[in-house]
Amino acid sequence: MHLLYGLLGINCAVFGLWQLRYSNSRLYRLLEQYFLMDRNSLTRKTNWSVVFSTFSHQDFFHLLINMGCLYSFAISMISVMGVSNFTTVYLISGCVSSLASMIFSFLTSSYGCSLGASGAISAIFAAFTALFPAAHVAFFVFPIPGGAITALALFTAYNVGGCLFKWSTFDFAAHLGGTVIGYLWGLSYKKELKDRSRKRRGYW
């Protein structure tokens, strides 16, 4: 739980800094340089924004949705994966999702900034689904028939559609990048757990 509360606290703290940006020009420049991912970020020698942008939210509703989703899945996933594995997947998938967003931006000749924990949280949800495909999940308070695997399929289809038709300003490419890396990791970890179980039964 310490890890979860730490992640929630960091995201909330960075959100608080964004609310002060117009009153402090130096703070504004620092936040733009290190907590926003854009094309210019890729040319810097020290590109910390690929990591820090995944803890960055400017809009309260964006923060609220992401932290609510993180809280929903992180408790069970930390207990299954352990603190070290969860942290590794969260950070790596956050970086991958940021890069996926920038690659998509290059390929489509569009310009925009990427920020937020959505990519990393998409990865955690995808890993959860790989491990527990039949788990009951809900959209807000509405249960989704078919469980986690159906929810992930709908989420993926929505983001593919968003990339193709650009029907909102959501960072669909980042969501997809996180989803892919999270699901692949979940499948790999599931296989590892099965292998461990077989070995224990064999030795017994």
**Catalytic annotation, residues:** 118, 175
* 163/104 Cα distance (integer angstroms): 9
Query: Which residue in 154, 150, 11 sits closest to 74, CA to CA?
Result: 11
Buried b / exposed e along 86-122 (16+ C-beta atoms within 10 A): beebbebbbbbbbbbbbebbeeeeeeebbbbbbbbbb
Q: Are 179 and 122 in contact (CB under 8 A)?
A: yes
Instruction: Count other Cβ atoms within 10 Å, centred on residue 189.
Output: 17
- Whether the CB-CB separation of 52 and 34 falls below 8 Å is answered with yes
Contacts of 51 by beta carbon, 8 Å cutoff, 6+ apart:
91, 94, 95
